[in-house]
Structure formats: C-alpha cells, structure tokens
Structure 1
Amino acid sequence: MKQSPPYVFLLLLIVTTHSLFSSTTASEDIRDSTGDKVLNNAPYHIGPVTTAKGGPIKLTDTINDKKICPLIVEQDPSADNIGGEFMFTLFGKREYLRTSSGLSIDSYSPTGECDESTYWTIPDAEGSAPSNLITTGGGFDQAITCFQVVEYSKPTSPSVHSYMLQHCPSFCGAGPSTCFNISIYIDNGVRRLSSTGATPFEFVFYKVTSTHDSM
C-alpha cells in the first residue's frame, strides 16, 4: 500500500485545526437600526431596542450633584434624548465593524472640564461598584479598554440587529482569560454600565444625524 508523504498529514492537520478555530471565532459585519453596515471608527449612538427599555447611552460628569472625572457611562432615563456619540474601533484596519473582534470604544470628543482620556475602561472587571463600572480614562488597545461586540443570543425583536458588549482584557494580553458580559447596574435609580449583572445589556447602533453635546 502506497503511503502518503508526511507533509500531506501535516497539511491536513493545519486545515482541520484552522476550520475548528474559524468555527468558534466566526465574525460578521455589524448592522445598525436601518440594516446598514456599521462603519469602523465612526461615531454612532447606541441604545435599547425599544423605548420601553429606557433611553440611549451617554456620559455623565456628575454624581450626587458632585463633579467627577473620569466620566461614567450610563443610560439616559429619557427615551426622548439622543444620547452620546461613540466610536467603536477595531484592532486592525477594516472598513466595517465586526462581531467577536477586539476593539476599543472612544467617547468621540472631550466633554466638560474633565481632561482624562475619552476611551471606555473598566478598572477592575472582577471587582464591585464603582471599580467595575465603565468609565472614561483608558488608552487605546489596553487590557482595561479591551471590548468586543457580539450578537444578542435572544433578541427582543428578530427583525432588529441587536448586540451585547463584552469586556475581554485577555484580548489585549493581560488580565482574566474570560470575557465579562456588560449589564446594567442600578445605583439609587441611575442605570450604569457594569461588568456584573444578571442580564446583558441589549443595544442597537443608531446613525448620527447631527452634531450635539454628548452629555
């Protein structure tokens, strides 16, 4: 019986391994509320699928009537407001945003008197509030600013492209190897984004139609 050369088995092993890896890390283009592809490194609003689930995401520079810096990322209580502008930037040059891919989130422009970096960060994803809340103050491509967007497993509406956010420090070379689902943490009635919570926050990308204050 004629035997295959050793390099044939090596090639088969590489192809099989690549297929298994690809099946678990498949990524797709992210779509906004209108079904269009979301651009990489471009400003968007993000908010819940329906107004019944509250308003859009924004930054705040005040807690309990006191100014804070860095800023905190929270959900606006009013669905009538437009929310902040945020840029999701992949670690790599692509035209469109992709799911299951490492990225950083920028708050687009400085707000108020706070001179901290505008990148989203979680100082301690395994800690408790306030250290596990999403704030500004990080740098691009750091472990504490490493996130990914994934499809929401049980969307509120099958006709809407909805997603959830995960904090993945290990994607940037440090921290826990797991990814933390981003949920809503309620503090005295205020809804803030956090790495702990029972239910991941389901959100949709909305196109920016005009320039406005992110607060």
Structure 2
Amino acid sequence: MPPHFSCYEAVIEDPDDTLDPVLDINGDELQAGERYYALPLIWAMGGGLTLSRNINGSLCPLNVVQSPSEIDNGYPLTFTPLDKGDVIRVSSPLDIEFLNIPTYCRQPTVWTVEGSFITTNGEGGNAIRNFRIQKYKETPMGQTYKFVYCVARMACQDIGRSSVNGVRALTLLVEPYEMVFAKVAAEGSQIRKVTNA
C-alpha cells in the first residue's frame, strides 16, 4: 500500500519556462517522450536502473532496482511532465516509466511507491503524488541529479538505494541516488559512457 499522507487540492499549471532544464551528459535538454538511461556518476558504482521481482516476495508489482553490473545501462526511462511541456525541468512534477519493457507482470511500468519502495504499476497523471528530478551536486564533470517523491504540500522525499535481499532497491528517505542521464542512442550506435571520477 502507498504511504498515507494528508491530501490537498493540487493544480498543474502551464509549463514554467523559468525553471532550469534537466541536462543529459552531452549538455542537451531532456525531452518529454525521449528515452534515457539514469546512470551513476562514477562508472564503478554499478549500472543503470532495471526491474526485479517484488522485494516483499510477490511476483508483482516489480521493484525498481539498480543493476549491479557497471556495463549494464539498465532499461531506458521516459519522462512525461504533468504540465504537458516538451522539456523536462528541474523540480517539475512528472511521470516516470520504463517504456516498452516486456515483463511477466501485465501491469503498467509507470513508477509509483509501495511502502517505501519504488515499484511499477503506477497510474500516472497524479497531481497530488508525483516524482520530480532535482539538482544534486555540481561536479567537475557536470551537474548531477536525484529523484524525489512529492506529496501535495509536504516536503519532497529523496529517493536512494537500499540493499535488500541482495539487490539495490530504490527507496524513500535514504541518501539520494546521485545520477546523470544519457540519451538512448539511435540503433546501431553506442552511448558515450560516463567518465570515471
């Protein structure tokens, strides 16, 4: 069950062009509907984000986890701003989804929260409960980001990794997962790997 919070009426306004755009590792703005890998800044800190059997022992929904392999970029993500803008902007409410990923769970691959874990089977388009991308650190290699989960007017909660049953599951209220974004390359080409720190 999702965590319980007091709900307030929320209104998604028109796109706010004053908010900074989220940038990928090439310095390009993240675009709604495009596919991106969410990768750790340091190459030796594991791979990208993927899916795992539910931590609680059930088959579905699936947990969002970090791949343990540095050479695994994980599954691509797509971002859909709730304000229907074309550019993904810092701190703007959005839906996050693994796009076109076949799974044995006949459920949406939109992110949601189950307990403190990030899972699939979200509905999307929720103005009260949603995910956002926020700036994390400015490094010599560029800006890094973190995911947060926000509920109405309550403070947003950082999303990080917790080791559970041998997997690095994405969870709330832990040290943020510091990441960068790499756009999925066109078929037949390769993405540029994040440089070692």
Query: Do the structures match in fold with TM over 0.5?
Result: yes
Aligned to 2:25: 33
Partner residue of 1:184 out of 161, 184, 189: 161
**Which has the larger share of strand?**
2
Q: For 2:110 and 2:129, locate their aligned partners in 1 and report how far apart those are by CA, in whole Å.
A: 7
**Which has the larger share of helix?**
1
Aligned to 2:118: 134
Aligned pairs, number: 171
- Give % identity: 33
Aligned to 1:5: none
The one-letter amino acid of 1:132's match is: S
Aligned to 2:135: 151
| 78 and 208 in structure 1: CA distance in 2 versus 1, 3 angstrom threshold | same
**Matched ranges for 1:1-80 at <5 A:** 27-61=19-53, 68-80=59-71
> Which structure 2 segments of 5+ residues have no match?
1-17, 188-197
Q: For 2:50 and 2:128, locate their aligned partners in 1 and report how far apart those are by CA, in whole Å.
A: 20
Q: For 2:128 and 2:37, locate their aligned partners in 1 and report how far apart those are by CA, in whole Å.
A: 22
Q: For 2:68 and 2:46, locate their aligned partners in 1 and report how far apart those are by CA, in whole Å.
A: 6
What is the CA RMSD across the aligned residues, in angstroms? 2.3
> Which structure 1 segments of 5+ residues have no match?
1-25, 124-130, 171-175
- Larger relative contact order (CA 8 Å, sep ≥ 6): 2
Q: TM-score if structure 1 supplies the norm length?
A: 0.72
Aligned to 2:87: 96
Greater CA radius of gyration, 1 or 2? 1
| 88 and 78 in structure 1: CA distance in 2 versus 1, 3 angstrom threshold | same
Q: For 1:70 and 1:210, locate their aligned partners in 2 and report how far apart those are by CA, in whole Å.
A: 30
The CA deviation string for residues 106-161 of structure 1, in whole angstroms up to 9 with x for no partner, is: 111242221112110013xxxxxxx2110001111226850111100x34x33323
Q: TM-score if structure 2 supplies the norm length?
A: 0.78
